[in-house]
Amino acid sequence: MFGGKGGLGKTTFSAATAYYLAKQGHKTLVFSVDPQASLSDIFQRNIFGQGPVEIMPNLYAQELDADRRIREYQNEIRQKIRDMYSMDEIPEEIESYIEAASAEPAMEESAIFDEVVDIVVKGDYDYYIYDLVPLGHALYYLSMASVYDQWIEKITKLREDMGQYNQVANVMRRGAGEMDEDAILRELRYIKDRISTSSKILTDKERTAFFFVLVPEEMTVLDTLKAAELFRKFDVPLSGYVVNRVIPKERLKPDIPEYLRRRIEMQQTHLARIDQQFGGEVLTHVPELERDITGLPMIERLSNIMFAS
């Protein structure tokens, strides 16, 4: 997983890492849950909402379409209500509730989270490169697993208690006999199992690595320090930091423009602070390149810089 503030290079690093792994012979999926993600631009392919798109041998890319996922979510809810309660049509008041709930911001986040769980739990790839949304939203997604797990735990316990009373009532009505397992309870256990599986994967230090992307600027360093502390609280395996857009200090020559001189000096100050704050966890410094990272040749070039050692 690559995370950090918006616009720092998370998506390009995700693409370059996926390219590197694919070239090593690993079947790799790079995917984004950010509605403003630019994997389509980087790979110069229209992949938004298309499912996994093969970019080259072993390399697949996917951008999630939240709106479509919400519509699918709605239809799944409708079908489960029909199945559980043997209804031919959804009552109007319930339909109105489903429509209203879909307008809530949390519905989009929940739908996307559910799709991420689908992708991870299926296990169709050797590596998953997860281009996270900006830090605030990333923390929300990573915390959702534990929040959902606690909520489902309470609801399941409540449903099990209700089932015991229902069983007594059924015995009194029709005599002793076996009851079919509660359909709602089965659904709750299914959701809990999915959440538990994805949560274990995301916090497994043997299987998951999280990399912070930052640039040598004061606010970015401060935000990254705060975010790293929060991520540790969710037991996310922090595996290192990648510093992007570094202007090499070798460019600091007497005849360079004053603006460039000040820029390099500023970066050197912040690079020293980054080394002091993060020390050996800084994995590499990626230089400022002369053009945007788009197309496989530039992705390959960035990949060579990132994995040179």
Please give the sequence-ordered ranges of beta strands (E in DSSP) within the chain, or none if there are none: 2-3, 28-32, 53-56, 59-63, 127-131, 210-214, 238-246, 282-287
Q: Please, which pLDDT band fits residue 234 given cuts at 50, 70 and 90?
A: confident
Distance (Å) of CA 255 to CA 239, 258, 289, 297: 40, 9, 21, 32
In the chain, the domains with their CATH numbers are 2-69+108-147+206-306 (3.40.50.300), 74-102 (no CATH)
Predicted local confidence at residue 95, as pLDDT: 86
Predicted local confidence at residue 133, as pLDDT: 64
Predicted local confidence at residue 85, as pLDDT: 78
43 versus 34: which is more confidently predicted?
43
pLDDT at 172 exceeding the cut of 60: no
Cβ within 8 Å of residue 201, ≥6 positions away: 120, 207, 208
Cβ within 8 Å of residue 132, ≥6 positions away: 1, 2, 3, 10, 33, 34, 138, 141
Report the distance separating Cα 153 and Cα 20, nearest Å.
40
Q: Please, which pLDDT band fits residue 177 given cuts at 50, 70 and 90?
A: very low
Report the distance separating Cα 5 and Cα 130, nearest Å.
15
How does the average pLDDT of the chain come out, rounded? 83
Predicted local confidence at residue 50, as pLDDT: 92
Predicted local confidence at residue 39, as pLDDT: 93
144 versus 156: which is more confidently predicted?
156
Share of the chain above pLDDT 90, in %: 41
Q: 193-197, 241-245, 254-258: which has the highest mean pLDDT?
A: 241-245
157 versus 258: which is more confidently predicted?
258
Mean pLDDT of 100-106: 69
Mean pLDDT of 203-211: 86
Residues 74, 80 contacting (CB under 8 angstroms): no
Predicted local confidence at residue 24, as pLDDT: 97
Give the full edge-to-edge strand order of the sheet including 53-56.
53-56, 59-63, 28-32, 127-131, 2-3, 210-214, 238-246, 282-287
Predicted local confidence at residue 178, as pLDDT: 43
Predicted local confidence at residue 211, as pLDDT: 92
Predicted local confidence at residue 294, as pLDDT: 95
Report the distance separating Cα 48 and Cα 35, nearest Å.
9
Q: Which of the residue ranges 38-42, 200-204, 225-229 would you say has the lowest mean pLDDT?
A: 200-204
Give one word for 37, left, alpha or beta, with left for phi > 0 and alpha for psi -120 to 50: beta
Mean pLDDT of 126-135: 80
Report the distance separating Cα 11 and Cα 6, nearest Å.
10
Predicted local confidence at residue 275, as pLDDT: 94
Q: Which residue has the tokens 């960035």?
A: 302
What pTM value is reported for the model? 0.81
Predicted local confidence at residue 292, as pLDDT: 92
Q: Which of the residue ranges 27-41, 101-115, 175-189, 289-303 would you say has the lowest mean pLDDT?
A: 175-189
Cβ within 8 Å of residue 231, ≥6 positions away: 3, 139, 142, 210, 238
pLDDT in tens, 81-102: 888 778 888 888 888 888 877 7
Mean pLDDT of 49-70: 91
Residues 4, 214 contacting (CB under 8 angstroms): yes
pLDDT at 180 exceeding the cut of 60: no
